[in-house]
Structure 1
């Protein structure tokens, strides 16, 4: 099968997926840009081993998007399937409009999303570009609703397990013993009895996008023996001052960590907090579950809505509700913790890069 895939940048987890998918088909992937201006240099280290990856020349329109007229040249070529994973980028919109005009069949894929009202001029434009594909790859029930809001029939929606983890990653992570956690905590100089971890970028809406203000407000009610570790980029001055003024000595801004070092923080932690105001998916939830960490998330994270069951492997709480977030965290720490950890690990077993590629091939072969 000869497949053309359109996306914005070669993010590490996407390249891993393409390399796996490319083992079983003739795959070409068009990228709008070589990398995102917001990301660390690690994102610029990739290898196209099992597929043909092409970085197109275009006019940059955002940190991770570009307008690439050259995409039309590739759309004119002979393909068995074309998948567009960037319906909101200028290049993706050009590609979809061209394929609509010349009656070229195509598929649409996304990581996730929350639908708006579906009404009004902007929503009509969105509906125009989303509707009309042969089929749609969806990650979750919430994303199914998104597609349906913009005119997609349910029978055209196909689920796939969205992830950044391989089978090996999940096997190597796993639920850790108390002694293993204590050993890593000593290595990281973690002194608190309990550890709450959150991973994300302060550069996303100055920390408010990931809901770190909500997390800090929740932390104000914690005992000092509960440490909160936020791993990502550097905090804004506002969050530095907040910690100082409220004397939150149990809040720690860790900064960027490579994959290996980040693994230590997952191992050392007792649970994962995801107070985001909106995440189309949230791959860090997958990562946390792979280490057997119960997840307490806002109801604006698609990954959490799909993967977390209240009282089983975590809790879903209302967005921007610091009291509910604190309550959810305390429930995990004082409840049947070992059972929740095992349930967390079990809930992520099918979410592998291998299964992600397998599902795509199954759907495309049957359609």
Structure 2
């Protein structure tokens, strides 16, 4: 049995756990997921028991809040692990989460190989000073095995623990939902969404806040060669009204629209309409939206600050990586898009699909994890 410890249920993890359990059952193993809490502030997913095709336990505990940090203090975690007697323990969470620290302090009682599923990298660090860094290093050096979603996360782990054994485990998306069917048509989707047929359409999906670089992208778009470009910005947040006013003031309503927050089916429709997906983030551990866009065969423009940019983009073959979120780099990349033939963008989108199909499906991710676990049996 593989015991997985994680903070709360999320739709993308639940779906992956279902596939992982199916693959483990083929070798007479299974998973048991231990959740530290049912939800956290700002999370709007509803837990549906019928969607979880694997055993799970919700631990009782205390759940204080500290400025975007939500530690879960679960008294019964060690007892739960001792009862389950797992073959392996996979910790999916932050290095300083109480659950992580508790498992590491009770290694002998747990008596199973411990694997840490880490998404951290230097561009995504929120808290860092020499004292935090020393503690981080101490924790990460106490773990032998890691799985990470991207190259930047692997480099990060080896910075703190040069002897760590690290394998690749990407976060996955619903590749069936975010894949083209024979019924899908870019032209029909544009008509349904009242989008121009004669322009290159760039779609951005993110919260509208400073971390996502949305104002910088808009200002660069305004100064770029944008006559044949059209932008759809999906999402909401603190900059929504600001952007709305800027678009009207700059007379760009025929080139730049805000949709607000949308249901998944509408996000999919806009992505089908698009020629290119853009994510000018300033900090993102491992964003899922470019993976979704790649399954829909979109050319990608992603910031180097996104953890999986190098894993998803082969430069000039299926998109471009923005080095810095500044005016010069953004204008340069937006102009590249404007100067690229739409047929070429279509070819680049096909390449995006090849890349994610090779490594980012749930089944391949599950099989890769199982192979890794089998190498470290106790």
TM range (shorter): 0.7 to 0.9
Select the residue among 168, 171, 174 that pairs with 1:159: 168
2:341 is aligned with 1:332 = no
Q: Which runs of 5+ in 2 are unaligned?
A: none
Pairing of 1:1-367 with structure 2 (within 5 A): 2-23=1-22, 24=24, 25-41=29-45, 43-45=46-48, 47-62=50-65, 65-77=71-83, 78-88=85-95, 90-100=97-107, 102=109, 104=111, 105-114=113-122, 120-154=130-164, 156-166=165-175, 168-169=176-177, 172-173=179-180, 180-191=185-196, 193-202=199-208, 207-222=209-224, 223-234=226-237, 235-249=239-253, 250-335=255-340, 336-350=344-358, 351-367=360-376
Once the two structures are superposed, residues 265-313 of structure 1 have per-residue CA deviations (whole angstroms, 9 ceiling, x without a partner) of: 1100110111000111111111111111111111101111221111111
Once the two structures are superposed, residues 92-136 of structure 1 have per-residue CA deviations (whole angstroms, 9 ceiling, x without a partner) of: 333234234757431101235227799721101111222222311
Q: Give the distance between the partners of 1:55 and 1:315, measured in 2 at CA.
A: 42
Q: Give the distance between the partners of 1:302 and 1:176, measured in 2 at CA.
A: 33
Q: Any idea what SS the aligned residue of 1:67 has?
A: coil
Conserved? CA contact 1:174–1:345, under 8 Å: no
Q: Give the distance between the partners of 1:356 and 1:92, measured in 2 at CA.
A: 24
Q: Give the distance between the partners of 1:90 and 1:342, measured in 2 at CA.
A: 40
Conserved? CA contact 1:8–1:32, under 8 Å: yes
Structure-1-length-normalised TM-score: 0.88
| Misfit runs of 4+, over 6 Å | 115-119, 174-177
Q: Give the distance between the partners of 2:103 and 2:247, measured in 1 at CA.
A: 47
Q: Give the distance between the partners of 2:122 and 2:302, measured in 1 at CA.
A: 16
Count, aligned residues? 356
Q: C-alpha displacement at 1:32, in angstroms?
A: 2.0
Once the two structures are superposed, residues 16-57 of structure 1 have per-residue CA deviations (whole angstroms, 9 ceiling, x without a partner) of: 11111112232111112223332334x544645331122222
Conserved? CA contact 1:277–1:298, under 8 Å: yes
Conserved? CA contact 1:66–1:89, under 8 Å: no
Select between 56-65 and 271-280 the one with higher mean Cα deviation.
56-65
**What's the RMSD between the two structures over aligned residues?**
2.6
Conserved? CA contact 2:205–2:235, under 8 Å: yes
Q: Give the distance between the partners of 1:87 and 1:71, measured in 2 at CA.
A: 16
Conserved? CA contact 2:14–2:52, under 8 Å: no
Conserved? CA contact 1:118–1:150, under 8 Å: no
Q: Give the distance between the partners of 1:103 and 1:357, measured in 2 at CA.
A: 24
Change (3 A) 1:218 1:314: same
Conserved? CA contact 1:144–1:157, under 8 Å: yes
Q: Give the distance between the partners of 1:38 and 1:92, measured in 2 at CA.
A: 21
Once the two structures are superposed, residues 311-362 of structure 1 have per-residue CA deviations (whole angstroms, 9 ceiling, x without a partner) of: 1111111222233223223323433323212212211112101111111111
Q: Give the distance between the partners of 1:247 and 1:220, measured in 2 at CA.
A: 10
